[in-house]
Amino acid sequence: MSTVELEHPTFAPQHVGHQFEELDQQNDAYIVGIWIFLVTEIMFFGALFLALTIYRYNYATAFEEAHNALNWKLGMLNTFILLTSSFFMAMAVRAKTLDHRSETKMWLGLTLLCAFGFLTVKYFEYSAEIREHHFPGPTFRWEAPSRANVEANTPLIQMSEAPKGIAGLGNYTPQPIEHHAHQLFFSLYFIMTGLHGLHVLVGILVLGCLWVLIAVKHPAVEDYIPLEIGGIYWHFVDIVWIFLYPLVYLIGRQ
């Protein structure tokens, strides 16, 4: 290992991994790496969007009713917060490329503030939904706003009663299927927004670490690429929400 380090004495101030020849190669690898990582993320969320699309097609009315129960105003607020945070993020990366350290810290700080704001709003949204028994599982309850709507929606699978006497079915009380289709919506809603929230949380960790590293002038963040990587990730989290918000909150709203 020692011979390798001797070969690159000039790179000492910047962190170039032992496997790389020079900083450019390392930066290229980081950029390619983050984009490939985002491809895996797209596939990860893609399966969920597919499930949402198919079930929405199968249970259009139930899904419409269910997402009318969501608070679209809070969702709107969150969309606004996230979009703003993406602007701050872009400004932070710009400041970093210009080597304005305190400005970078300010923009990055604002981004983090927005991220916390997003999660706070989400907390209030989730609390309200759980209070209304919209969290899927044994406690789930759905009271249809108007029965006429429900009657009109004939489900694809007719099952008026759940089979009884089979182990593991205890949680499911026999109910008309359209009641469960609402649960289907809320299951996907909680999983998709929950996983998105998890990504926001990871984003806070990543950007927070970057903020600290920049604040202490750590040599690893001397180059702007690490912040750029964090930024690309953050924009991705933003984009997922941009698809999530209209598909889950808006479409079909009366």
Partner 1 sequence: MSSISVPGAVPVPESRKERENYLNIQHTVASWLLTLDHKRIAILYLLGITFMFAIGGAAAAGIRIALVRPHDTFFSNEVYNKLFSIHGIVMVFFFLVPSIPAVFGNFALPLMIGARDVAFPRLNLLSWYLYMTGSFLMLLAIIFGGVDTGWTFYTPYSSVYSDTNVSLVIFGVFIAGFSSIATGVNFLVTIHKMRAPGMTWFRMPLFVWAMYATSIIMILGTPVVAITLFLVAMERIFGFCVFNPVCGGDPLLFEHLFWFYSHPAVYIMILPSMGVVSEVIACFSRKRIFGYEFVGFSSLAIALLGFLVWGHHMFVTGESMYSGMVFSLLSFLIAVPSAIKVFNWSATLYKGNIWLSAPMIYALGFIGLFTIGGLTGLYLASLAVDVHLNMTYFVVAHFHYVMVGGAIFGFMAALHFWWPKMTGRLYPESWAKLAALIMFIGFNLTFFPQFILGYLGMPRRYHYYLPEYQAWNILSSAGASVLAVGYIIPFCYLLWSLFKGAPAGDNPWGAVGLEWTISSPPPSHNYDEVPIVTWEAYDYEPVIQAELAGAAVGHPLMTTEEPYIKETE
Which residues are near partner 1 by CB under 8 A? 1, 3-4, 17-21, 25, 28-29, 32-33, 36-37, 39-41, 43-48, 50-51, 54-55, 58-59, 62, 136-138, 140, 155, 157, 159, 162-163, 166-169, 171-172, 177-178, 180-181, 183-184, 187-188, 190-191
Which CB, 4 or 216, lies closer to partner 1? Answer: 4
Is residue 204 within 8 Å of 182, Cβ to Cβ?
no
Lookup: tokens for 130: 């759980």
CB of 213 to partner 1, least distance (A): 16
Instruction: Return d(Cα 226, Cα 162) in angstroms, integer.
Output: 54
Lookup: tokens for 225: 């690429």
Cα atoms found within 13 Å of the Cα of residue 245, Cβ hemisphere only: 19
Which CB, 54 or 83, lies closer to partner 1? Answer: 54
Which CB, 73 or 166, lies closer to partner 1? Answer: 166
CB of 212 to partner 1, least distance (A): 19
CB of 169 to partner 1, least distance (A): 7
Residue type at 63?
Answer: F
CB of 187 to partner 1, least distance (A): 4
Residue in 237, 254, 245, 218 with CA at minimum distance from that of residue 52: 245
Which CB, 189 or 241, lies closer to partner 1? Answer: 189
Which CB, 72 or 172, lies closer to partner 1? Answer: 172
Is residue 178 within 8 Å of 153, Cβ to Cβ?
yes
CB of 209 to partner 1, least distance (A): 14
Residue type at 10?
Answer: T
CB of 50 to partner 1, least distance (A): 8
Which CB, 106 or 144, lies closer to partner 1? Answer: 144
Instruction: From residue 178, give the alpha-carbon distance in Å to each of 144, 168, 254.
Output: 10, 21, 19
Residue in 222, 224, 225, 221 with CA at minimum distance from that of residue 209: 221
